[in-house]
Amino acid sequence: MKRTTPFANLFGRSPFKALKQHMRAVVEGAAEVPALFEALSAGDQGRVQAIKDSIFAHEAEADRLKNELRNHLPKSFFLPVDRRDLLEILNWQDSIADAAQDISGLLVERPMEIPGPLKEPIVTLAQRCVDVVELSAKIIEQLDELVEMGFKGKEASRVEEMLDRLNLLEDDTDELGLELTRTLFEHEDEIKPVSVIMWYQLIQWIGDLADNAEKVGDRLRLLIAN
């Protein structure tokens, strides 16, 4: 009978197996952020709490996978990419899960009512940021093929096209975030000062979902360029 070790189980046939598993947990958590704001908009605090618990569970799973990868990646182990590059991508992926956790945690610790003018655009912004995260995850899924082709050829060109789309999508979230911030400040006299600060912070954190996903892509683009 063929024996497997925890290390072999972690990486399987590919050194990127754990990295992909981690990204899948990250996406599952981030994907719940739009529903979080929909529940808040509907005044369903129980649903907000349930979604927050789910996001925290996904973040904990992402942390577990991150720590396993870090703890079982010996410096001498042969990898087709530099160990530091792999760990840097892992860190940016993990920052996405952290941002989703921060957003959901704040909305539970300080229950808030979404100002009317923000209700629809904040869900739109959250969904667009999740679109960026999901696209970055699709790119991560291409890693094995990318490495097999030596980061060159048609596979590299296809990934570069996906990276270009990722940058355009992230630019779109920047515009949506700025527009939402302007709307917030236009109505600041109708909102409690502390709430204005909190909503400004939340808009920044929602944008961090896309920013960190773009950084994952930027690191991959450097790998292809080298």
- Res 5: pLDDT: 44
Q: How confident is the model at residue 223 (pLDDT cuts 50, 70, 90)?
A: confident
56-79 pLDDT per residue, tens: 999 999 999 999 888 877 665 556
Global confidence as pTM: 0.90
Q: How confident is the model at residue 10 (pLDDT cuts 50, 70, 90)?
A: very low
- Res 7: pLDDT: 43
**Rounded CA separation 164/136 (Å):** 11
Q: In 3-state terms, what secondary structure has residue 66?
A: helix
- Res 8: pLDDT: 45
CB distance 90 to 66 below 8 Å: yes
Number of CB atoms found within 10 A of residue 52's CB = 22
CA distances from 166 to 47, 107, 128, 144, 197 (A): 31, 28, 11, 19, 29
Q: Which residue, 60, 59, 77, 76, is CA-closest to 10?
A: 77
* Number of Cα atoms under 13 Å in the Cβ half of residue 144: 11
Q: How confident is the model at residue 3 (pLDDT cuts 50, 70, 90)?
A: very low
Q: Which residue, 50, 63, 69, 59, is CA-closest to 27?
A: 59
Q: How confident is the model at residue 210 (pLDDT cuts 50, 70, 90)?
A: very high
- Res 224: pLDDT: 79
**Rounded CA separation 120/59 (Å):** 26
- 8 or 144: which leads in pLDDT: 144
For the residues 93-103, what does the mean pLDDT come to?
98
100-159 pLDDT per residue, tens: 999 999 999 988 899 999 999 999 999 999 999 999 999 999 888 877 777 778 888 888
- Res 75: pLDDT: 64
